Amino acid sequence: MIDFMKQIKVDQDTCIGCGSCVSLAEKTFKLNENGKSTPIDPAEDSEEAIQGAIDSCPVTAISWMEETND
């Protein structure tokens, strides 16, 4: 049986560090030492809050990435 888990991916080359994701899902995102968004693992915000942060990113640097656990 294959189990799918959603993971959050932030493209560091695309991220401009505006911080909207941190404002909307502060338990899931932080700004790193380079001023770019980084997901905190494990994510503790609701999936809806995380999706709102993804949708608010002005440069679409954040996305869901499905991983399989065999």
Would you kindly state where each structural domain of the chain is located, as residue ranges?
3-69
Q: How confident is the model at residue 68 (pLDDT cuts 50, 70, 90)?
A: low
User: For the chain, what is the radius of gyration of the CA atoms?
Assistant: 12
Architecture of domain 3-69: 2-Layer Sandwich (3.30)
Q: How far is it, in rounded angstroms, from Cα 56 to Cα 53?
A: 5
Q: Could you read off the pLDDT of 18-57 as tens digits, one per residue?
A: 999 999 999 999 999 999 999 997 778 999 999 999 999 9
The residue behind tokens 């656990």 is 69
- Tokens linked to 30: 């932080």
More confident residue, 2 or 45: 45
The residue behind tokens 């932080």 is 30
- Tokens linked to 55: 């949708």
pTM: 0.83
φ and ψ at residue 43, rounded to 5 degrees: -70, 135
